[in-house]
Structures are given as structure tokens and as C-alpha cells.
Chain A
């Protein structure tokens, strides 16, 4: 073992590399970009990634269990849009929220049921339900693309809440991240998710209730999306449903994958989400400061995601003999 000289690159995992890149980027931006290290800007960075990070937490739990949830953004935007629409039409808050909760629960259960019990690949189920949720809510339940938050509603007040000059959503992100950390690391069900993601058949054979837990993960992801949607509406005072057609969904996958959560399941944790979110936050902020147009930002993000997936494919290669048939 060479203890002196070059670090042993093989011991570096993806998380470490990404963290190093994030630090380098941060230092470079701090030196090269005026106003980057300004406390307000740093808060803005954290704030900009907190909604993304919350969504990525839900996505991470699903991915660790060897799934994926492409309906997250649709659920996030459309559930809140429906909620605000109900409020604007004069429905009592409690009843409206109960409706929305029930709807979110139903979609999560539907996702989970189709994946767990009908054996449909998660990617197709969630693609379809995402499209359905957007289409159904947009065409049947709301009247326009953007729905404003009613005056004086608690969602609006939430957006204005600050603690130590830091917006409340940052604390919510941190709190949720800590809760997810405890859940994944220290609870029995959290550990089971890793088992089920690493080898679903073996997990089932030792008696883990793999399929009910799978449904639970999609329900969890749907509720996380609802929270993220409420926070988005809080900070913008409205929700724009066009966000569903934006690249936000791929940003979420990007945060999870680039942080080192393997798409083949069973690997990763909350720390990976934080690292991924840090890199993406710094990157987006830097690009905005340099004044790169949004369209080019999308191009750059897509290129990074492509690179991340290629690296993921090289680090976790699929074997010709053991790859699952139809595992696309």
C-alpha cells in the first residue's frame, strides 16, 4: 500500500468524487465570480436546492428500493394546484386538504400496486400515472395553467417565514433529510428497503414483506412531492403547472444519481442526496451568475446527467449472463 504520494484513486467512490468536484467548483466560483460568497447568495443557493432536495429525498428512497418515480413532479404540481383551486372556489381548508391528501394517497397506492402486484416496470407505471395526473387535473379540475395562493392563507404565510434570516424551507429540507436519515439508517423498515433493493427475491424469501413495503415507498414519495409542492407555492405565491413539462423531473434524478445512488438499487443514502444537491445547487447558481441562458443550462444539465449515467453504468455494470430479461 502506498501511504505516501498519490491518493489511492480506487478507494474513491462516486460520492467522494462528486463531493470533491463540488468543493472545487465552490472554490473556483468563490474566486472567479463576484458576489458568489455573499451570505445572501449562499442562502439563495441552499434555498434553490431545498425543494429539489426534498423531492430527491423521496426519489432516493424509491431508487434505493430498485424503483423510480417519474410521476413525482406531476404529483407535486397538480396536487397543490388542485388544492389551491379548491380553496379559491371557497371550499373549507380542512376539507380541501383532506381531498388532496386522499388523492395523493390514491396515486401513491396506484403506483405501488401496479409495480408490486401487477409486476409492471416502475418506469412505465410512473410515466403513465404522471401523464394521467397532469392530464386529469389540468383538464378536469383546474381552469388555467397557474393557480394563485389565496390572500392570507397559511401557505402564503409559510413562504414569508424566516428564522435567523434563513427561509423556512431550508429548515424543512434539513429536518426532512435528518428524518430520512434516521428512517433509512436506524429503523427496521429502513434497513429492509436496502435488502429489498439489493435482492428482492432473497428479501422475499427471508420473509420481508417486499410488496407492501414497495407500495409504502411510492406513497411516501407522493407525500414528499406534496410537501415540496406546498413549499414551491409558498415561495412563489402560486403554482404553475407547466413545471410538469420542464426538466425538473430530470434534475431530481440527476441529484440522486450524481450523488451516487445506484439505479440498480440497494445503495446510497441521505448523504448522497445532500452531496448531489450541493453540486447541482452550486452549478445552477454559478451558471445563473455567469448569465447562461436557461436553454443552455438545460443542455449542460443534460450533458452532466448523461455523464453521470455513463459513470453509473461503468461503476455498476450489468452482466450479460445475469441481467434480467426486460430490465430496461
Chain B
């Protein structure tokens, strides 16, 4: 190994590049940025301003936070529904005035004041909702205008009644309690804000109206076409926002016992900034109440902190402007480019130097030497089938295979002309096996392990295994269950080829070449699934040895076959029995002479072997070239190989014409014939094997002669 290669292997095998991509697939990364901003803000101002975290100071600032976060909650809901509400400041101020007017001037009870406050908010919100929801005006400008309107109204009212409020002698214990008291260390407004946030959160995430809001925000057109009443939903979001702002206004009326020209000033840009900084997306559909609250804390801490640090007039606006511009830009760029970034960084190839192999070329004289025998195979279901990855025969000689359309098809003996859909699974059935009682067990791509009873009842056996602690992607889910086989005691051993890619992205997995394949076992007694082995490069075919004490499994991208011991002194361990083959192994099945058949889905090429030693080149390739031009395993030539229990190669056969079976993913011997399937093929081949036992069948080999 040259120094350059050693460096490459260190760089690409030891540095966990793949972690970045895996983290980016997580939904919580959306929350990470605002949360980080929150921590940084609190830490910065907490360290600069003395006594920032003192209880009394906190109580005063949290009181303001309670009112503000209510307004932000309302704004968040409107934004989730795809709108925006700039009139919250006016609603806030007018509701505050309503409460003040009813309580101090009309000298009515505080509860009536609350009712007046809420009514003001609801009416104002309904006006907004009607204009934006039903008349479908532009939310931004419309609420901007209603904001001016409300503000003008408020200014008139305040100047008219300011003196009367001053002279009023009305007092109330309830008002003082709401305005000044604390309850378990937190002020009433904070408690109310928390309750409102929890209720709103539950309504948004767990109720029909909440889902409708998110659906309308996510895609207004789709929601409309799906029959959701878009206009009414939008209307309701504005009414809710009005309600939230009015409660906030009532609270500030209690706290300040009055209303002044400054009430609710700049509140709309603060609330908007808070929601956007928190990560509530413009245009709707993405965000949560929690995000809004995080934004509220950030904005309020910043503005209050700057005031307490003694910065002059205008500083707030400057900071709000910067925060809004930065947050909106980040939000829009992130939304737009997240999947692009993910595509760029997700594929993280590793270094691998493949061992030297023997040639499989015709005439090379090695035991791997391919011939043209398979081109002479008869065809079954030509043109009817798409993608028979695995084939299997039952005791009555009927032939089963999976198809790309998510079905298991049965061809009837003896001529295999007539066929029927045996069962509809929904996913792509890959490996097949019969258990003792004749149930057909199948590994279904991207779905899990399924069982089909003889009377066609489909049952899911397993879709997950235990989660490992160190994995960032959810490796409990079975991403690519590939082949299975059944031990004499009924336990089902199966492979899950990769943790990082879905089944159809197998080419990317081969390019990345990271060892994430697993061998798992499903125990029908208690329905549990366990991971036995981990860290192989695309585990593929599984086959129980003839004596049932060990099993063979293929490791495709490393071109190896391993033997895993179930019993005996080596139980629970695996050893490599065939290494450095010239082809990529797929399914393995028993042969009548005590040996094993193995399918080759493709052949190694010097070019791809070389590229495996250049992970940087493969990374560039996936980033810069279209998929058609990627270098990946050659799957235009495959074959069938017979090997002994010790790993010796007996013979190899192929289809050099490429016309019938260029790529072979499985083969099953039955009564002297070999049935051959390929995942990209349009037929099943039937080939008469010279010298094979004409009475040997797979079900009998596994479960004994028919009873």
C-alpha cells in the first residue's frame, strides 16, 4: 500500500463523514439553529448584564414575556396556515383599551372587562380573517392596513379617554392578582402563556382543525383539492390570532392599570421576528408553537438586554431588522437547499482495497471460468414478469417468484405456462423460503419480513430490530431486507443489506462501500428480532447448511461468502469461507449433491476495483455527474457458481450471450432442473442440470419427505 493510499484509507475510513449526512436527515436539525441561537443569546446577555438571572429581574421580564409569547403563539398559528398577521399590535392595544375602558371608566367588573377585551380581539381577527380568508386578499398588505386602521383608532381613543382613566378610582383584587402576583415563582401571565401554548400545541399536532391548518399552510392547493375548507381554515387562524393578542392586551391592562400611546408599539415586527427567528417558516406548513416560543424568548431577551445595557433610541429597530433579515434569509435558503445539501454530503465513500482475484473469463482455465450454458435455458413467464429476484418451488412443483409490482406470482406445474397472483404484498418481495408448515416467508424490500400462508393470508413477521446506541440513522428499521432462510428449529435467519440506503439505492451503497450490512434472526416463538452480526458490505443471500448446524451468507460488495455457526464449538461466530471472488455474490441455495448454488449478480471490473481505492474520486463522481454516468458494479454479466461446504469452487456457468440471463440474483434446484431468476430480468430460466438427482427437491431437503 502506497503512502497516498494509506493516507486515503485513514482519511476516509477513520473520519466519520457519514455522520453529517445522517444528522441532516433528522427533522430536529430544523430546531437546532433556533435553539442554539437561544442558548447563545441567553448566555451572552446573562454574562454581560449583572443580575440578569436574579429572580426579581426574571419575574419582571417574564411577565412581559408572558404577554409577548401569547401574541407570538397567535402569529405562529397564522403563519403555519400560510398567512401573516401584522395587525397583532393594534389588536393588542385595542383589547388593552377595551379592558381599561370597561373597568376604569364604566367601572364594571374585571370579568366584563375580560369579555370586552376578548370580544374586541375576536371581532378584529374575524375582520382580518374575512378579508384574507374569504376575499383572498394578500395577507401582508391587508393586515398592514388593518394595523394602521386599528392604530389610528387606538390613538384617537387613548387621547380622548386618557384623563378619565387617570381619574378613575376603580380597583379590584383580581386585577392586582393578575397584574402583580406570582404563583409558584412565575407570574400569572406566564402561566397563562404556558397553558395557551400547551393547548395550541396539542390542537395543532393532535386534532383535526390543527391538521387542517398545517395542511393548508403546507400546500394550499392540495388542501383545497383534498376537500379541506381552505377559506374557513384561514379565517379561523386569524380569529385565533386575534384571540391570543386580546388576552395579551388584557394582561397588560391589568399589569399597567391603563393604556398609553406606547402600548403595543412595534409589537407586530417583534412578533414576526420572533416567529421567524424561532424557525416558523414563511409561507406556512413548517414550524411549531415551541419554535415560536423560543423565538419570543430570543427577541425579548435581545431587545430588553440592549435597553438595559443603555443603547439609545433606534437600537431595537436596528437589531430587529438584522435579526428578521438574517432569519428570513436563512429560513428560505435552508428550505430551498436542504435536500441539495443532503444529497451532496450524504454519500460518504470509504477506502477499500479488494483482494486479487482469479479470472472468470472463458478459456482462463480457472475454476471460476464462465461458460455459455445458461443461454440455453428455457424461459418461463417471458414478458409477463418484472424482476423475479428470487424463485422457489413447493412440494407440488409449483413455482413462486416476487415481482417489482409488489406481488408474489405462482406458476403452475408441470409446464409453468399458467400463472396467477398468489399474494399481493405491496413492496418488492426479494428472498423467499418455505417453512415447515408450508408458509412462504419473504423478505420484502424496504418493508420487512413477511409470511404468506398456503391459503394466502399475508402477515408481517418483523419490521424492526433493536436500535443500536451508536447509530445516528434509525437502524431499528429494516431498510433493505434481502434474503432469508429457516433453521430446523423454525427460526428465520435473514439479512438486511444496508442501514444507510433504501433498497432501490443499492448502487449508491455499492459506491459508498460502507460496511453496514447485518445478519438478523427472527424467532417465531416470541416474535422477537435480534441482530446477530453487523458491519458487512451488503449482506445478501442466506442458506442453511445441509446439516442445519451452520449457515452461509454472501457479502456482495466484498465478494465473499461467510459461514455463521449456529451450533458446535464456534456457535455464534462467523468465518469467511470464500474470499476474493471475481463476481458479486447474491442468493445462495442448496444443491442436490450436497453442495451449494450461489448466484452472481455481476462481475468485478478493474475500473471499479480501482475506484474503491479512490474514495475522493467516488465522492466527486456522485456530486458532479448525473446518475447515468456513475461508475458502479458491472451487472451486465452474472452467473451461477457451485461451491462445496469447505468453500471450494466446483463449477461456474453463465450466459455469455447476455440475451437470457445476464444478471442472476437467484437459482433454485428442483427435480434435476435449475430455476434461475434475476432482479432486472423479465423471465425465469429453467435449465436441466447434467447429473443432478431427478428426485431431489428443496422442501424435502429442508423438512423431510411429505408426511
Contact = CB atoms under 8 A, between A and B. Distances in A.
A145 to B, nearest CB: 8
A-side interface size class? 35 or more
A132 interface: yes
Highest count of chain B CB atoms <10 Å: which of A119, A145, A263, A299: A299
A26 to B, nearest CB: 25
Interface in B147-193: 148-149, 151-153, 155-156, 159
Interface stretch (A192-200, A277-285, A301-309): A301-309
B320 interface: yes
Interface string A49-92: 00000000000000000000000000000000000000000000
A295 B149 contact: no
B137 interface: yes
B324 A139 contact: no
Contacts of B135: 310, 313-314
A132 B140 contact: no
B548 to A, nearest CB: 59
B314 A323 contact: no
Given A303-B149, A325-B220, A326-B284, A250 B144 contact: yes
A299 B153 CA distance: 7
B325 A114 contact: yes
Given A124-B282, A298-B152, A298-B155, A136 B333 contact: no
Contacts of B153: 299
Contact of B142 (A114, A309, A326): A309
A135 B266 CA distance: 12
B136 interface: yes
Highest count of chain B CB atoms <10 Å: which of A125, A132, A137: A132
A309 B314 contact: no
Nearest to B135: A313
B152 A129 contact: no
Interface string A254-296: 0000000001000000000000000000000000000000011
Interface in B297-335: 311-322, 324-325, 328-329, 332-333
Interface string A11-49: 000000000000000000000000000000000000000
Contacts of A130: 321
B-side interface size class? 35 or more
B321 A132 contact: yes
A313 B132 CA distance: 10
B696 to A, nearest CB: 63
A134 B317 contact: yes
- The dominant DSSP class at the A interface is helix
Interface in A206-258: 247, 250, 253
B314 A138 contact: yes
A318 interface: yes
A23 B699 CA distance: 98
A128 B156 contact: no
A1 interface: no
B142 A120 contact: no
A96 interface: no
A121 interface: yes
Interface string B257-273: 00000000000010010
A321 B283 contact: no
Given A139-B312, A263-B138, A302 B152 contact: yes
Contacts of B314: 134-139
B530 interface: no
Contacts of A263: 138, 141
A164 interface: no
Contact of A302 (B149, B315, B317, B328): B149
Contacts of A247: 148, 152
Interface of A: 114, 118-121, 123-125, 127-140, 145, 247, 250, 253, 263, 295-296, 298-299, 301-303, 305-306, 309-310, 313-314, 317-318, 320-321, 323, 325-328
